[in-house]
Structure 1
C-alpha cells in the first residue's frame, strides 16, 4: 500500500537479514515482496546500498530510456568490481563506458557473429562426442565446459597451452561461488579467512595469467591479422590505446559473463525439454529441419521461465520522481527481470514452459529483457542466442532426453546467477535411426 513516505515501502528487517534473503533466496523472496508491497519495493542490502526493485514495465522503460548521466549502470554493478575490475564495460559509465563499448562491439556483431558459427559447431560436436548415453549426468557442468571453450576461442583465438589450461581450471573456481562468498569480495578482513582467502588467491593468479597472455600477444608477429578479441583490442587505431589493466578488466568480464549465463540458459532449456515431451518433439523436428527460429524460441523461453540474472541495476546520480515516489540520489533502481517474466499480465500461464509464445509476434516489447535494456543492453546477446541455437540443433539431431529424477530441480543462487539446484540432471538417448536417414539423404 502507498504510504506518506516519499520513499517506496519495504521490509523493516535488519540489513544483514535483507542481504541474505535477497542474495541467497531472492527467487522465493521477491514474490513475497511483490505481494506485500507491489511493483516498487525498497530494500537495504550490503555493501551499503539502498535499492528499489521495480516490477512495472512502464517504469522500467523510463529507467532504460532515461539519461545515462542520471541512471548509472556501472555504479549499479559495483558488487562485481572486485572481480571484474573498475574499467570493466559493466562497471563504467558515460564516456568511459561508451569508449569501451565501441571497442568491443565489432567482435559481437554482423560478420564476426557469422564467423563464429563454424567454430561453435565444431566445439559443440566435440563436446557431444564425449557424452555417454543412458546414464544420468549434470548437463549444467557440461554446458559450462562447452561455453567456456567457446569464449576462450573468441577472446584469445586459441584454446591450447599450459597457461590457458590453468586459466580454464581457475575460472571454474571463480564462477563456482555462492551468494555469501560475495561478502568476501568487499571485506579485506574476510579475505584473510578460509574460503574467502582461497577465492582471493585464485583471483590474483587469474590476473597473473591474463597479464602474461597480454604481454605475449603484444609481441606476436601476426598480431595485425588476428581476429580474436584480445588482438582486436591491441590493434585499435588511434592515440588512446587500452592499458594492460584496462585490457585485463575487459578480458575477465568477457570470460566470466560471456559463458556462464549462456551455459545456465542451456541447462535450464534441457531441464525443461527433458520433462516436456511435446516441446521436446517440436525441438527435435526443428533440429532436423534446421528451424533456427524455433530453437531460438526454446532458449528465450528458458530465459523467461528461469531468469539467469534476477535484475539489472542503475544507480541514481540525482533525485528523481518515480512511480509517485521520490527516489534520492545514491539509491540503486533494480528493474526486476524475475518479476516481469513471472507476471501473468505479460506472459499467460507464466509457470508453463512454452517456446511457442516467442513465435509470431512474441511477447510485448519490454516484457522480456534477460539481456537488460537501453544503451546498456548486453553486447553479447546475439552471440549468446547463436550459441544456444547451434547447441540445441546439434544436440537434438543426436539425442532424445529424459529427466534423471521425478521432481523438477529447485532454483539455487550462485554468486549473482540463478542456476539449477542439482546441475540439471538429465539422461540422453541415442537417435540412431534418424542419424542414419540423414546420412543417406546427405549422400543422395
Structure 2
C-alpha cells in the first residue's frame, strides 16, 4: 500500500475551494479525467478529501464500520441550522438509535397513506400556472414540496402557523454564500451582518416547537398519520422518546433535506422531458396509465425520476471522515481524511451506463439497480431515510403535472448545473411553457414505490 494520499491538483487550497464551490461537477469531472478513479482535493478549513469513482471502492465505504466511516462528522457544518441532534450530524450509537426511532414514518405503507394529499397539493399549485409563456418551474416545485412537508410530515393545519412556515422556510433555505457562513460557523449569527439569519432560525424554531406542543397535547395523537405524530409516539427499547429539542432537529432536517432536494429533482425531470419530445409523450401516456391504476404507468414515471436523478444528481457526492487508518483504493489512508464517494462520477460513467450523457428512462425500466452504481440518496447505514418518500412524491407530482398540462418542447440548450449550498439546480430555474390546461380529477392512490431496497 502507498502511504501517500492519491494524487490531485497542485493548486493552492483557497483556489481549490473556490473551484469546488463555483464549478463543482466540472471541477470534479476534470480531476477524474486527469487523475483517475481516486484523487485528492485539499481545501482550507476541511480535511483532505479523497474522491472515489470506482463502485467497488464505494461499496467498501458504504459497507464499512460506521464507527470508522463518520458521515455525521462530515456533515458537521450543517449543525448551525439542523441542530446538534439531527440524524444527519450524529454518528455511532447515537445515530443508530435516532435512525431506529425515525424509521416507521418512512416505511412503504406509511408513505402510501400520504399520496392523496400529495396529489391534491400538486393539483392546486398546477392550477395557478401561467399558460402560453415561459416561466421557471423550480419555484413552483419548491412550493409543492414544501407544502407536502408541512402537511404530511409536520402535520401543520393551523392556517396562521401554516402561512408563517410558508413564509419563513424559503427565506431560511435559500441563503446566499455569504449568509451560509453563519450556518457553518454558528457563532457568526451573533454578529450584525448575520443576525437576520439567527432571527429566521428563531422564528422557524418558534413555529416548530408550537407544532410539537400541539401534537403532544392532541387527544387523537394515536390516530394521526403525520410524521411528527409518529415521531412523538416513537420509543426505543428502553421506552425513551425524543425530547422537544430532538424532535425540532429532526423536523428541521426533514424540511431542509426533504424539501429542496425533491423540488430540484422534479425541476430537472421537467427540464429533461421538455427537451425530449418522444420521451415526454411516453411519460404523458405513463401518467394517464398510472392514474388509471396501471402499474406499468407507475413504473415508467419511476423510470423518468430515476434517470433524471442519475443524469442530473441533486447532490454530487457524500462524505465520510475516517476515525482510524483504512486501506482503500490501493492507498493507506490516515485517520482524519474524508473519503468522498462521487455520486455524479459514477452516474456519468460509461462503464456503468452506456452513452451516459443520453437521457433515457427506458434504461431504468425493469432494471435491478446496484446501491453503488445508482446512489442519488447515498448509501450504507446513512442512505437517506426519506428515499422512498421522495421517489413516491416525484412520481405523484409528475403524474399530476403530465395529466393536467400540455407542455411545449424546446430546442433550447440544456440548463447548466448551478451550485447552491450542497445541491445542483438548473441555472435558469428549469424554464417551461404550458400550451394548455386539462381539467382532470385528482388521481387517488398509488402503487408500491419501485425504488431499490430501502432500510426505511
TM-score normalised to the size of structure 1?
0.92
Counterpart CA distance in 2 for 1:44 and 1:375 is 27
Question: Could you tell me how far apart the structure 1 residues matched to 2:15 and 2:90 are?
Answer: 29
Partner of 1:201: 199
Partner of 1:337: 343
The equivalent position to 1:351 in structure 2, one of 336, 353, 357, is: 357
Q: Does 1:360 align with 2:366?
A: yes
| In structure 1, C-alpha distance between the alignment counterparts of 2:193 and 2:420, rounded to whole Å | 15
Query: After superposition, what is the alpha-carbon deviation per residue over 1:50-100, rounded to whole angstroms, capped at 9, x for unaligned?
Result: 211111110000000111111111112112121111111111112111111
C-alpha distance in 2, partners of 1:32/1:263?
Answer: 28
Quick check: 400-409 or 163-172, which moved more? 400-409
Alignment of 1:225-264 (within 5 A): 225-237=223-235, 239-264=239-264
Shift of 1:159: 4.2
> Is 1:124 equivalent to 2:130 in the alignment?
no
**Can you list the C-alpha shifts for 1:273-323, whole angstroms capped at 9, x where unaligned?**
111101101101111222010001001111111110011111111000111
The 8 Å contact of residues 62 and 379 in structure 2, kept in 1 or not, is answered as yes
Distance change (3 Å), C-alpha of 1:25 and 1:199:
farther
Residue 17 of structure 1 and its aligned partner are, at CA, apart by 1.8
What's the offset of the Cα at 1:271? 0.5
- Figure out how many residues of one structure are paired with residues of the other and give that number: 434
Verify the 8 A CA contact 2:172 2:201 in the aligned structure 1: yes
* Deviation of 1:179 (Å): 4.5
Equivalent residue for 1:441? none
Aligned 1:214-233 pairs, distance under 5 A: 214-233=212-231
Where structure 1 has 5 or more consecutive residues not aligned to the other structure, the ranges are 439-444
Q: CA RMSD in A?
A: 2.2
TM-superposed CA distance for 1:363, in Å, is 5.1
Identify the range of structure 1 (189-198 vs 18-27) with the bigger mean alpha-carbon deviation.
189-198
Please state how far the C-alpha of 1:324 moved relative to its aligned partner. Answer: 1.3
Aligned to 1:108: 106
1:266 is matched with: 266
Going from structure 1 to structure 2, the CA distance change for 1:40 and 1:369 (only over 3 Å counts) comes to: same
Query: Over residues 234-254 of structure 1, what are the superposed CA-to-partner deviations in whole Å (9 max), with x where a residue is unaligned?
Result: 223454221221111101001
Residue 398 of structure 1 pairs with residue 404 of structure 2: yes
Matches within 5 A, 1:252-331: 252-290=252-290, 291-331=297-337
Q: 1:189 to 1:289 in 2, by over 3 A?
A: closer
- Matched residue SS, 2:113: helix
SS of 2:73 mapped into structure 1:
helix
Deviation at 1:104, TM superposition (A): 1.2
Q: 1:180 to 1:349 in 2, by over 3 A?
A: farther
For 1:47, the equivalent position in structure 2 comes to 45
Normalised TM-score (structure 2): 0.90
Task: Decide whether the 8 Å contact of 1:77 with 1:90 is kept in 2.
Answer: yes
2:145 and 2:260 in contact (8 A); partners too: yes
1:215 positional shift:
2.6
* Change in CA separation of 1:150 and 1:368 when aligned onto 2, cut-off 3 Å: same
Residue 425 (structure 1) shift: 0.7
User: Residue 42 of structure 2 aligns to a residue in which SS?
Assistant: strand
Change in CA separation of 1:380 and 1:364 when aligned onto 2, cut-off 3 Å: closer
CA distance 1:372–1:223, change in 2 (3 Å): same
Cα separation, 2, equivalents of 1:188 and 1:387 = 33
Equivalent pair of 2:277/2:409 in contact (CA under 8 Å): no
Matched residue SS, 2:408 = strand
Structure 2: runs of 5+ lacking an equivalent: 291-296, 444-456
CA–CA distance in structure 2, aligned partners of residues 49 and 367 of structure 1: 26
Q: Is the 8 A contact 1:214 1:244 kept in 2?
A: yes
Given the superposition, is the C-alpha separation of residues 90 and 338 from structure 1 closer, same or farther in structure 2, using an over 3 Å criterion?
A: same
Q: 1:335 to 1:277 in 2, by over 3 A?
A: same
| 2:423 counterpart residue number | 417
Is the 1:23–1:180 contact (alpha carbons within 8 Å) kept by the matching residues of 2? Answer: no
Q: Distance in 2 between matches of 1:321 and 1:185?
A: 33
Counterpart CA distance in 2 for 1:142 and 1:209 is: 23
Residue 170 (structure 1) shift:
1.4
Displacement of 1:200 in angstroms is: 2.9
184-193 or 4-13, which deviates more: 184-193
1:27 maps to which of 20, 25, 28: 25
